[in-house]
A and B are shown apart, each in its own frame.
Chain A
Amino acid sequence: MPGLGTSFGRGGATDYQQDLQNSDVITIMGSNMAENHPVGFQWVMEARERGARVFHIDPRFTRTSAMATDYIRIRAGSDIAFLGGVVNYILQNDLWFEEYVKRYTNAPVIIDERFQDTEDLDGLFSGWDPEKRAYSIESWSYKGMAVHGSGGETEQGFRTKGEQSGHGGHGGGLHHGEPPEEDETLQHRNCVFQILKRHYQRYTPELVAETCGCSVEQFVDYCEAITQSSGRERTGAFCYAVGWTQHTVGVQYIRTAAIIQQLLGNMGRPGGGILALRGHASIQGSTDIPTLFNILPGYLPMPRAEYYGNFDNFMKANISPTGWWGHFKAYWVSLMKAYFGENATEENEWLFEKLPRVDDDNSVYWTTQQMLDGKVKGYLLAGENPAVGNTNSKAHRLALAKLDWLVVRDVVEIESAAFWYDSPEIASGELKTQEIPTEIFFLPAATHTEKDGSFTNTQRLLQWHFAAVEPKQDCRSDLWFYFHLGRLIKQKLADSQEPRDELIKALRWEYPTHSAIQEPDAEAVLAEVSGWEVPTGKFLSAYKELKEDGSTVCGCWIYCGAHADGINQTARRKPHWEQSYVAPEWAWAWPANRRLLYNRASADPDGKPWSERKKFVWWDAEQGKWTGLDTPDFEETKPPDYVPPDGAEAEDAIAGDHPFIMQADGRSWLFVPQGLEDGPLPSHYEPHESPFDNPLYSQRSNPVRLAPERPENRFNDDRYPYVATTYRLTEHHTAGGMSRTVPYLSELQPAMFVEVDPELARLEGLEHGGWATISTARTSIEARVMVTDRLKPIAVEGRKTHQVGLPYHWGSRGLTTGAAANDLAPIALDPNVHIQEVKAFTCAIRPGRRRR
């Protein structure tokens, strides 16, 4: 997640769930934690019982709100206005943690004079190119900073993008880790601190109330509560989930929280941090070891199509002179050795010329459009159900019906496998079974009880699950499927002389198998991910051991050490009662088994704990090393007073009082000079579809958002007056493939419903328990009506609107069936990570069932 990555250096949750018990105040926003992470929520309840205030700030009063000490209702899509107001409140009232901000963040850094803010340009930053609908970011740089990897040499440039930025801003060249110009008094007009202050000066409590629909009193009460839990003695935490990310300006939502947490000095400290709550068992893992188009394991970039330089240029573009990205080449070469073994050599530049290249956008929504245009012929689905799970699901179903062939791997026959005979379009006659050309292979999958493997949970923890039983009949793990698929393809192409087959022939694809079905050994794959030394075969224990000469193999550098000493560290299960509350011997966390990231910041610049109460990691002068309750997120023996010598490189260029070691300057970034598509600071933009103008700028929505308009993806006009938001329920899981198929879960929430407030029900004639049809320019769906006081109309600048709640679990298959809420939402995406805006769009609603 670039929101966290660009701010702090790594894209994962900065904290671990159990640490919430140490929080003095908890903000849950963009998350319905009690409903969607009920067991993790026990740690919020622990904090509440210890006297912490728990704020839930959300458009809907949910089971989380019911448990919070304070609930603040806001309009869907207005979170940056609210959080920006908090930043302004902190700055205007001088409530920031001075020593922390001055020493650990980039507040003192002076920015290029050419920089212009959204305050200056009415909602745009400097560098806007209206034709390309993109920013040129030179003017966002640190003043006087040599632009690393000059633009003329390489299209790849110095600019990290997308998920790669999820792992730190690591392109900019800095002279031995220090920005060229700083003002430690924070008074310089163009220092980050002053820019920040000006940027948010109009985000007053009154503006927040008018934009978000809460009261000034609620907002100020919240600001007081979180600022009172800041400083040496106290800390506060943020919890968010897709209620923040699923917006056209989603990354910047998280960025705003990141700014608050820096100003309050809450990062790297117990009870602080930002906890990203992920919704799938291994969603963190599937970005770390990505099944994403634009990155390779460990957030290494996929080479880009427009790049036609050589390997050296690629390296130059990506190696950061300072910070841990200084070892980019070692990470890259070790990955190539894991992929291609002895076929990747220094002489052939680790096969660089043969590697596939990507474009700016080859994301899933781009692929869907290509499918609709007949350009994509074959598709493999493994545990994902776009026919109900992706935004504008109807477009996805229409796209699947244009494929030549489709492979669906799941435990049940999901909607994406059945669309050709069971879907709204078949029912309406829009699609006809006998006219759909798609050849479909449905392959039953194995469940977690039937295979070995590791999930990476929401706190970066790799936890191994063991196969308990053999999969039955044709059921197989995805490990089995992809391994044997690769084996068959390699077999068939073994004698090919085609240049296109050179790379697949060079791929190292040897894994031991076991049992009658020849299941690949998952632990052997983990061993390759974690890595070993080529000459000795010795297993690696940490990424600092990786070499750039090809003498180490490592399939994912941030996971290096997960199989240290040849032992599956992710399978460790020492009971929590036999270790400290941090539980470092339960499973294995990346990086280097650290549980609380940036924990160097839990000590003051001199290395002493900020307070006894918040003691965590500190400098032990006698022993000459960092010590404490966790693996220090710092070089173990680098003293707090270390000053980098001239010419220092990589981690040696990071000073002893700079805790954010993945960043080129060792500090957290209040202002992000590079790594984001849509600005160095978050500004409030309205959702792509909103009934309101932007109260702050004439630029209404995020100018860089991706919103491809086409017949299958039309956008709403003012005939759709209400705000819709989608969500999950405790009783179901995502698109329902794992819950609508389970009797005990289906009976608990047996029907698709729509939540409306009583006033809207009166206005539109909706009857509680009856049916309603909800419409957008995409399509219409029907749902049972739930009239509830938990939703209320909300006034924005004096004009009232209604918010409509839509759980998105249903589809046409399963024990309980119903309409898919995702049918309604548009394909409108965040420019950084191509995530869909399903948490705020517009709709109309009327009583009665859908007319066909």
Chain B
Amino acid sequence: MSVPDGWLAYGDEQQERVGFFTDTSVCIGCKACEVACKEWNLVPEDGLVFTGESYDNTSTLGANSWRHVAFIEQEKPLRLDDEDGEPLRWLMSSDVCKHCTHAACLDVCPTGSLFRTEFGTVVVQEDICNGCGYCVPACPFGVLDKRHIPSLPATTTRVSGSEPQASERPDGRVWKCTLCYDRLKGGHEPACAKACPTDSIQFGPLDELRARADARLEKLQQENWNGVQLYGRDPDDGVGGFGAFFLLLDEPEVYGLPPDPVVTTRDLPGLWAQTALAAGAVVLGVVASFLGGRR
């Protein structure tokens, strides 16, 4: 069953599972999503580094980049039947936390900071996270990341009473896309999806998005688009399907995405079962010894 872990426990509070469908065939690479996310979530600016990686100076998802637009320049035609023009295309794709159905980050978080929301999404709670970082290697996509912001120098003065900006706070905690948890609670769509000029980032109930993606795939295949495929749409994949999935125009590796992601805690339930068995035996032994002792 492809049901997000922990989601059913919400009972009456449970909401329809929502997510993103990012259709890269209409992404114009404007990065409105990156900025909208930062503006809404007060994510700090991440350094002025010229990478030379096409128009991508963000490079990767991280604690300070919850949306990341990849730019891939290719000498390939956009459509398979395209013979006249130059074989040249510029792929752009806005990456984000996948909000996995089976999320390893959730499994390994020892503090309960990472949790499954009533919307079926995965959120790090900034008031709980202690920066232990167990989740960082657990993520098959490298989304989870600790924020390294230097503490304020002692000489810095602040207007009394004003809250420090997110970018000013000493940190070390893990940050990532919350699918704008606060906005969802108020009935607003996430900031990136709202800003997206061409509706490349679509927000909605996951079932609807999957149906829409299937239709889109069919249309683009009929139109002979080169390399068109869905990524993370399938509930039977290694993470039980993504809450945020994609229509790509080439193999996932081309975009820097793992081709066949697997939840890194996949084998844990079995391990836990054995552990439980062993623990049970210990308990029995202890109880027996108590009982025996009373005798």
The reply to whether A and B meet directly (CB within 8 Å) is yes
Stretch at the interface among B25-33, B102-110, B278-286: B25-33
Stretch at the interface among A37-45, A137-145, A537-545, A636-644: A37-45
When A218-B85, A744-B39, A748-B57 are in contact, do A753 and B31 touch as well, CB less than 8 Å? no
Q: Which of B34, B55, B197 has the most CB of A within 10 A?
A: B55
Q: Which of B32, B39, B75, B84 makes the CB contact (< 8 A) with A221?
A: B84
Contact status B198-A786, CB under 8 Å: no
Q: Which of A66, A217, A743, A816 makes the CB contact (< 8 A) with B90?
A: A66
Contact status B48-A34, CB under 8 Å: no
B54 at the interface (CB under 8 A from A): yes
Contact status A34-B46, CB under 8 Å: no
Q: Which of A42, A69, A790 makes the CB contact (< 8 A) with B88?
A: A790
Q: How many A-B residue pairs have CB under 8 A?
A: 104
Please indicate the chain A residues that have their CB under 8 angstroms from the CB of B45 in the complex: 743-744, 746-747
Contact status A35-B30, CB under 8 Å: yes
Q: Smallest distance from the beta carbon of A167 to chain B beta carbons, Å?
A: 32
CA distance A744 to B191 in the complex (A): 15
When A746-B48, A747-B57, A749-B55 are in contact, do A38 and B30 touch as well, CB less than 8 Å? yes
CA distance A544 to B137 in the complex (A): 72
B92 at the interface (CB under 8 A from A): yes
Count residues of A near B (Cβ-Cβ below 8 Å): 45
When A746-B48, A769-B52, A815-B48 are in contact, do A72 and B85 touch as well, CB less than 8 Å? yes
A255 at the interface (CB under 8 A from B): no
Contact status B89-A217, CB under 8 Å: no
Please indicate the chain B residues that have their CB under 8 angstroms from the CB of A784 in the complex: 50, 52
Contact status A748-B197, CB under 8 Å: no
Q: Mark B186-224, 1 if CB is under 8 A from A, else 0.
A: 000000000001110000000000000000000000000
Closest B residue to A786 by beta carbon equals B52
B13 at the interface (CB under 8 A from A): no
A789 at the interface (CB under 8 A from B): yes
Please indicate the chain B residues that have their CB under 8 angstroms from the CB of A221 in the complex: 84
Please indicate the chain B residues that have their CB under 8 angstroms from the CB of A792 in the complex: 86
B58 at the interface (CB under 8 A from A): yes
Please indicate the chain A residues that have their CB under 8 angstroms from the CB of B46 in the complex: 747
Please indicate the chain B residues that have their CB under 8 angstroms from the CB of A66 in the complex: 28-29, 89-92
B260 at the interface (CB under 8 A from A): no
A71 at the interface (CB under 8 A from B): yes
B270 at the interface (CB under 8 A from A): no
Contact status A61-B34, CB under 8 Å: no
A119 at the interface (CB under 8 A from B): no
When A66-B92, A70-B85, A221-B84 are in contact, do A747 and B29 touch as well, CB less than 8 Å? no
In A13-35, the 8 Å CB interface with B consists of 34-35
Q: Smallest distance from the beta carbon of B53 to chain A beta carbons, Å?
A: 9
B47 at the interface (CB under 8 A from A): yes
In A741-777, the 8 Å CB interface with B consists of 743-751, 753, 768-769
Q: Smallest distance from the beta carbon of B111 to chain A beta carbons, Å?
A: 30
Contact status B31-A45, CB under 8 Å: no
In A63-86, the 8 Å CB interface with B consists of 63, 65-67, 69-73
B73 at the interface (CB under 8 A from A): yes
B49 at the interface (CB under 8 A from A): yes
In this complex, the interface size class of chain B, counting residues with CB under 8 Å from chain A, is 35 or more
Contact status B86-A42, CB under 8 Å: no
Contact status B198-A45, CB under 8 Å: yes
When A39-B197, A790-B90 are in contact, do A731 and B31 touch as well, CB less than 8 Å? yes
CA distance A745 to B38 in the complex (A): 11
Contact status B88-A61, CB under 8 Å: yes
A730 at the interface (CB under 8 A from B): yes
When A217-B84, A221-B84, A747-B46 are in contact, do A41 and B28 touch as well, CB less than 8 Å? yes
B228 at the interface (CB under 8 A from A): no
When A747-B46, A748-B34 are in contact, do A788 and B197 touch as well, CB less than 8 Å? no
Contact status A63-B90, CB under 8 Å: yes
CA distance A789 to B92 in the complex (A): 16
CA distance A747 to B55 in the complex (A): 11
Closest A residue to B219 by beta carbon equals A49
Please indicate the chain A residues that have their CB under 8 angstroms from the CB of B199 in the complex: 42
B35 at the interface (CB under 8 A from A): yes
CA distance A730 to B56 in the complex (A): 12
Contact status B90-A753, CB under 8 Å: no
In A788-822, the 8 Å CB interface with B consists of 788-790, 792, 815-816
Contact status B92-A63, CB under 8 Å: yes
In B74-119, the 8 Å CB interface with A consists of 75, 78, 84-86, 88-92
CA distance A71 to B87 in the complex (A): 10
Please indicate the chain A residues that have their CB under 8 angstroms from the CB of B198 in the complex: 38, 41-42, 45
When A744-B45, A750-B48 are in contact, do A730 and B31 touch as well, CB less than 8 Å? yes
Contact status B52-A768, CB under 8 Å: yes
Q: Which of B50, B55, B86, B91 makes the CB contact (< 8 A) with A73?
A: B86
In B52-75, the 8 Å CB interface with A consists of 52, 54-55, 57-58, 73, 75
Please indicate the chain A residues that have their CB under 8 angstroms from the CB of B73 in the complex: 788-790
CA distance A215 to B266 in the complex (A): 56
Contact status B58-A750, CB under 8 Å: no
Please indicate the chain A residues that have their CB under 8 angstroms from the CB of B84 in the complex: 70, 215, 217-218, 221
Q: Smallest distance from the beta carbon of A710 to chain B beta carbons, Å?
A: 36
Contact status A71-B88, CB under 8 Å: yes
CA distance A748 to B38 in the complex (A): 12
Please indicate the chain B residues that have their CB under 8 angstroms from the CB of A39 in the complex: 197
Please indicate the chain B residues that have their CB under 8 angstroms from the CB of A729 in the complex: 55
Q: Smallest distance from the beta carbon of B46 to chain A beta carbons, Å?
A: 6
Contact status B28-A71, CB under 8 Å: no
Please indicate the chain A residues that have their CB under 8 angstroms from the CB of B52 in the complex: 768-769, 784, 786
Contact status A751-B50, CB under 8 Å: yes
Contact status A65-B90, CB under 8 Å: yes
Contact status A816-B31, CB under 8 Å: no
Q: Which of B30, B31, B85, B92 makes the CB contact (< 8 A) with A71?
A: B85
Q: Smallest distance from the beta carbon of A83 to chain B beta carbons, Å?
A: 19
Q: Smallest distance from the beta carbon of A405 to chain B beta carbons, Å?
A: 35
Q: Smallest distance from the beta carbon of A60 to chain B beta carbons, Å?
A: 11
Please indicate the chain B residues that have their CB under 8 angstroms from the CB of A61 in the complex: 86, 88, 90
Contact status B31-A748, CB under 8 Å: yes
Please indicate the chain B residues that have their CB under 8 angstroms from the CB of A217 in the complex: 84
Q: Smallest distance from the beta carbon of B201 to chain A beta carbons, Å?
A: 13
When A61-B90, A788-B73, A815-B48 are in contact, do A730 and B30 touch as well, CB less than 8 Å? yes
Q: Smallest distance from the beta carbon of B177 to chain A beta carbons, Å?
A: 16
When A35-B30, A217-B84, A816-B48 are in contact, do A749 and B75 touch as well, CB less than 8 Å? no
Please indicate the chain B residues that have their CB under 8 angstroms from the CB of A45 in the complex: 26, 198
Q: Smallest distance from the beta carbon of B275 to chain A beta carbons, Å?
A: 46
Contact status A789-B85, CB under 8 Å: no
Q: Which of B49, B90, B92, B197 makes the CB contact (< 8 A) with A750?
A: B49
CA distance A729 to B90 in the complex (A): 15
Please indicate the chain A residues that have their CB under 8 angstroms from the CB of B58 in the complex: 747-748
Q: Which of B26, B31, B75 makes the CB contact (< 8 A) with A789?
A: B75
When A63-B29, A730-B31, A788-B73 are in contact, do A750 and B54 touch as well, CB less than 8 Å? no
When A745-B35, A746-B45 are in contact, do A63 and B89 touch as well, CB less than 8 Å? no
Closest 9 CB pairs of A and B: A750-B48, A743-B45, A751-B50, A66-B90, A769-B52, A38-B30, A34-B28, A38-B197, A39-B197
* Sampled A-B contacts (6; CB under 8 Å): A70-B84, A744-B38, A747-B49, A750-B48, A750-B57, A790-B88
Other than A35-B30, A72-B85, A730-B30, give 11 A-B pairs with Cβ distance below 8 A: A41-B197, A42-B198, A61-B88, A63-B28, A66-B29, A73-B86, A730-B28, A730-B31, A744-B35, A744-B39, A750-B50
